[in-house]
Amino acid sequence: MIKGKGNVKGERAILHSDLNSFYASVEIMLNPALRNKAVAVCGSTEDRHGIVLAKSGPAKQAGIKTGMVNWEAKQRCPDLLMLPPQYEQYLKYSKLAREIYQRFTDQVEPYGMDECWLDVTASQSIYGDAISIAGQIRSMVREELGLTVSIGVSYNKIFAKLGSDMKKPDAITVIGRNEYKEKIWPLPVADLFYVGGATEKKLCRYGISTIGALANTPRDSLRSLLGKNGEMLWVFANGMDQSRVMQYDFHSPVKSIGHGTTCTADLKNNDEVWKIMLYLTQDIGHRLRLHEMMAGGVQITAKDNSLASRQYQLRLPTATQSPMELAVAARSLFEKHYAWHAFVRAITVCAINLEPLCIPRQLTLFDNAARRAKLQRLDDTVEKVRGRFGKRSIRPALLLGKLKTPGDSCHEVIMPGTMHG
């Protein structure tokens, strides 16, 4: 199915390809007996990752939603088949889909495992116009991978992504410069890229409930209300986004390094939280070394057992790679701000304000350089031991006891979280 008109000649031709119900579709493709059944890929109930990650068409029709907890999904649809995720398969088919995209252009920018932007402006002289290219991709993905895609075609990345969301599954939607007001402006403001829940609530308080209302709000007013993010959203809503699609081998500069976990049981006091933070920063310190970066700040996110999240951050007096220093800073943040209104379900620690390791740093009068050098040698030795014998070969004694962490990390997948350009 193809909706919409073609783009004006001479304009950029941007596609956004979204693999439909990706996890569930891969499971059904691998096991055809699941076809036409209510299927949901779910996190582990035992490890408290018990939410729906993806659902099939029949499951959606039964009222199953992504993010719904497992017990509620089963209650709503007793015949629901709940499958554990097979991330290695999802990564495999994500890569195969991108290889299809790269037959048409080298400007393929991933956004998660199941979504990609493509700039096919220069490809049209070889493969036909943007709609024709989208049709070829759609056919190839179906025939070669047994999956379906929805593709948005437009002159910028924002509208291309909106287009891929407008008609699913297995569809192509075109949003041209002369028709975006008709197609885009009536949509809820929450449909616009980068409008999260908090931003939506703030905009709605000012009577801005549609993308058109946002587009017609004075630019300066939005900047006053939301800062530079408000001005960016105004640009998006008015079809003025000029961000480019990055090449498939582009690696964005690392801006933060984080690690989080949903605990197998609620954390009930500061000591239990401290153990989890120390556990998380072991990985963060290792990854800082891999990227040859130092953390200039720490950010934590605490999710309580009602699923409400709170986030806090601080700037460190001296940039560091030390897992212990990061954990100590995270602990101080938590104990200063968290009022224990509820037990803690999940914790994330993030190293922020990253700086290259090679940058010279000014020591402060209160910094003990000798002690810092000693701790650095200790961390270097620990890193060497782990590199030779595995990451569990040496760790703080505090982590030798039973932690409220999942037994494995198969559910942890690092996903792109920003649009480049």
Residues 6+ apart with CB under 8 A from 127: 104, 120, 133, 136
CA 306 to chain centre: 22
DSSP-based three-state secondary structure for 218: coil
Strand partners, 17: 116, 151
143 contact partners, CB below 8 Å, separation of at least 6: none
> What type of residue is 232?
M
Q: 353, 299 in Cβ contact below 8 A?
A: no
**Contact of 153 with 131, CB cutoff 8 Å:** yes
The backbone torsions φ and ψ at residue 176, rounded to the nearest 5 degrees and listed phi first, read: -90, 170
Burial 59-88 (b: 16+ CB within 10 A, else e): bbebebeeebbbeebbeebeebbbbebeee
Residues 6+ away with beta carbon under 8 Å from 100? 137, 140, 141, 144, 145
- Residue 389 pairs in a beta bridge with none
Q: Residue written as tokens 């949003």? A: 175
Per annotation, catalytic residue among 115, 272, 325, 383: 115
- 286 three-class SS: helix
Q: Is 115 a catalytic residue?
A: yes
Structure tokens at 41: 């890929």
d(CA 309, CA 63): 26
Residues designated catalytic: 115
